[in-house]
Every structure is written in structure tokens, then in C-alpha cells.
Amino acid sequence: MALDDFLLELLEDPVDHGALIYLAEHNILYNPRLRVAYEVRGSIPVLLPDEARAVSDEEDVSYTQDPSARMTGPREGS
């Protein structure tokens, strides 16, 4: 199940407090600044630094260039 827009507006990285990239197809929230991915389990984001996984160079390119990716944080005009 995909995360809803309201939740996406609230989410930020727990370490650097920046926006994340939501990749519904992969069930992850990705922080390209720290190059870590957080799992989304059953529509619940697991934003625990100890459970984040490092992302490879290939995954970074794939995630940052994915046309279906959505950014977290407030939408313009909100």
C-alpha cells in the first residue's frame, strides 16, 4: 500500500532532517545526501537510523532518476 500525500508532507530524515525520496515500487524512503534507504513495511515508514541500509552507486543513480519517485516535505502552495 502506498503512502498517502498527507504523510509524505510530514516525513523527513531522522538524521539530517532533510527531504526524502519515496519509491513506492521499492517500498523505501531514500536519502540521497546520506545515501541510505529506509524500509516501508506495510505502509509504515521505518525511519530508524539503525535499520537504514547503505545504497550502492547503481542504486543511487536508479533511485534519483526514477520518474515515479516522489519527494517528501511540504508541497509548494501548501
pLDDT at res. 33: 98
- Say what the alpha-carbon torsion angle 38, 25, 33, 3 is, to the nearest 10 degrees: -60
pLDDT tens-digit map of 20-59 = 999 999 999 999 999 999 999 999 999 999 999 999 999 9
φ and ψ at residue 25, rounded to 5 degrees: -60, -30
- What residue segments make up the domains of the chain, in order of their start? 5-71
pLDDT at res. 27: 96
The CATH fold of domain 5-71: N-terminal domain of TfIIb (2.20.25)
